[in-house]
Chain A
Amino acid sequence: MSATTILSCHQLRREFRGFTAVDGLDLQVAEGTIHALIGPNGAGKTTVFNLLTRFLPVSGGSIRLRDEDITRLSAEQVVGRGLVRSFQISAVFGHLSVLDNLRVALLARAGGVHRFWQSGRALNAFTDEAQVLLRDFALEGLASALAVSLPYGRKRALELATTLARNPQVLLLDEPTQGMGVEDVARTCELIRRAAEGRTVLMVEHNLNVVASLADRITVLARGRRLAEGSYQEVAADPLVREAYLGHASEVAHA
């Protein structure tokens, strides 16, 4: 990998009342790549995401985004720097319409949230761009539906569309295909591939087929530590990884 590192952490640590969930993690994500973070349940993947996006304070270590140390920034500030995440459990604004889900993200990007004196018509400025995203994600017929009423696969598509509306340079996706049927998984893979054009993606994913087909580089996490790193073939061949995935060993080999 000759590309420059865009997001990295050094000796990252997080403790929950004496329990160390992330234990001295070093991670470098190269610009323009899709980087997968995998590992067994409870390995600390979501916690790493929470630390990188400043949703949790770190217990130790540092985080860099490009040339800047972002370890002490707030969650809202890192979004402004171009680092945006999605959530493991589908997160949409259920009582807002599909269109408003997108418009609120576009509004946040434009920095217009404090304009309390403007009428609701000011939001129309974002409608065209929202419509384009709706079309890209096959949601165009659902613009006025409440997000809570969407079927699961459509909700996750909306979530991804909303995240992209914020136009991140680095996109953090926490299990984007979790709980989906085969068809939706294939569709979502395609959407992620398209979203990754001109961006950097760091994704947590349990579905190893998805990882194999999308990821340029893979980091395996176990008990909060880095177990292995490399291409899919390298990682799949690693005896330590096979051991950590014990029950899944055959799955790793065949995927």
Chain B
Amino acid sequence: MAALPQHTAARPQLAATLAHPAVQWFLLLLAGLGLPFLVYPVLAMEMLCFALFASAFNLLMGYAGLLSFGHAAFFGTGAYLFGYASKMLAFGPLASLACGTLAAAALGVVFGSIAIRRQGIYFAMVTLALAQIVYFALVQAPFTGGEDGMQGIPRGMVFGMFDLQGEQTVLGQTAPWCLYLLVLVLCLAGHALIARLLASPTGLALRAVQDHEARARSLGLQADRIKFWVFVTSAALAGLAGAMKALVLGLASLTDAAWNMSGEVVLMTLIGGVGTLLGPAVGAFFLRYLHHALAGLGGWVTVLIGAIFVICVLLFRRGMVGEWRAWRGAARV
């Protein structure tokens, strides 16, 4: 009998420990470190970049209720500006990542000023149109390499110590571990930033604005201003994701900025679960892995992914993480 209360007390304690944010971030870090043992390292890094891209997009769609069809413009701009800084200006990798991120943020300021007052489908149309302008500008710009893209972007060294190019062997797995760690840490930092932002006073105001914009304005919340800065943040993080992808692959190409990419990030977010913190990352992992695993099918991959998307929309409207949470919530009652 004496052991019983102890036993029942232990379970909530474990649950409370697991629910602590610091513990959850640590578990995510561990999971991230295990990833290169499951899939080959470059694919793992690509997955992390897309996870950040999808989460940046979700910040806008899931928490500000704005469906952007032009997010590839930020992703592509991040990639090209990273390449430009690293290859043409011979900046180090961190400075080059910062260049890509800032360029995307600046572009976000331009897009945001024009689009933020539009509602619903008009917002989607305006962002799509602006993204097409950026795409054609990248086709024409002298430094982008046109159809071939910008190739052979150097990875360089961090702090003159960590060689992002070289490979190391850890627990029998040979991989560019320095590069992998950098990508993992930046990906997690991006997610932490989003989580922190959503929990902040501004995050509460943002949720109020998304919930009932007129009511929010009637209480004096400056809805357009809040949405504008969320848009710029989302653009900056999408730019960082694109810059990281260029760092990993040594390549910035037009596909990064094309409208298909804008569509792909919508798919990732919806399949993973819009408006959930980890859903978009899960969706990104799933879709990137599918692309890789089914590469042998050629053009049929697109058809298959389209079919998966249709099934998701029809049967699992909340996305993978959303459905899981709803199921767990129902099971608890």
Where the two chains meet, the residues of A that have a C-beta atom closer than 8 Å to any C-beta of B are 53, 55, 75-76, 79-80, 84-87, 91-96, 100, 103-105, 107-109, 112-120, 122-123, 162-163, 166
Contacts and interface: CB of A to CB of B under 8 A. Distances in A.
A96 B217 CA distance: 16
A94 B219 contact: no
16 contacts: A53-B218, A75-B217, A75-B218, A76-B221, A84-B218, A91-B214, A91-B218, A93-B207, A93-B211, A94-B212, A96-B207, A103-B204, A104-B221, A109-B220, A123-B204, A166-B220
A208 to B, nearest CB: 26
Given A87-B215, A93-B212, A94-B211, A115 B201 contact: yes
Interface in B211-270: 211-212, 214-222, 226, 229
A131 B65 CA distance: 30
B186 interface: no
A107 B217 contact: no
B219 A108 contact: yes
- B interface bracket (residues with beta carbon within 8 Å of A): 20 to 34
Given A104-B208, A108-B220, A119-B196, A92 B215 contact: yes
A27 to B, nearest CB: 20
B218 A116 contact: no
A95 B207 contact: yes
A197 B71 CA distance: 51
Nearest to A54: B217
A95 B62 CA distance: 13
Contacts of A123: 201, 204
Given A100-B204, A103-B204, A113 B222 contact: yes
B332 to A, nearest CB: 15
A170 B18 CA distance: 48
B200 A104 contact: no
Contacts of A75: 217-218
B202 interface: yes
Nearest to A114: B202
Interface of B: 196-197, 199-205, 207-208, 211-212, 214-222, 226, 229
Contacts of A79: 217-220
A156 B220 CA distance: 19
Nearest to A112: B201
A116 B222 CA distance: 14
A96 B208 contact: yes
Given A93-B208, A96-B211, A116-B229, 5 more contacts: A75-B217, A91-B212, A92-B212, A96-B207, A104-B221
A168 to B, nearest CB: 10
A80 B222 CA distance: 11
Given A91-B212, A94-B212, A120-B199, A162 B204 contact: no
B26 to A, nearest CB: 18
A55 B200 contact: no
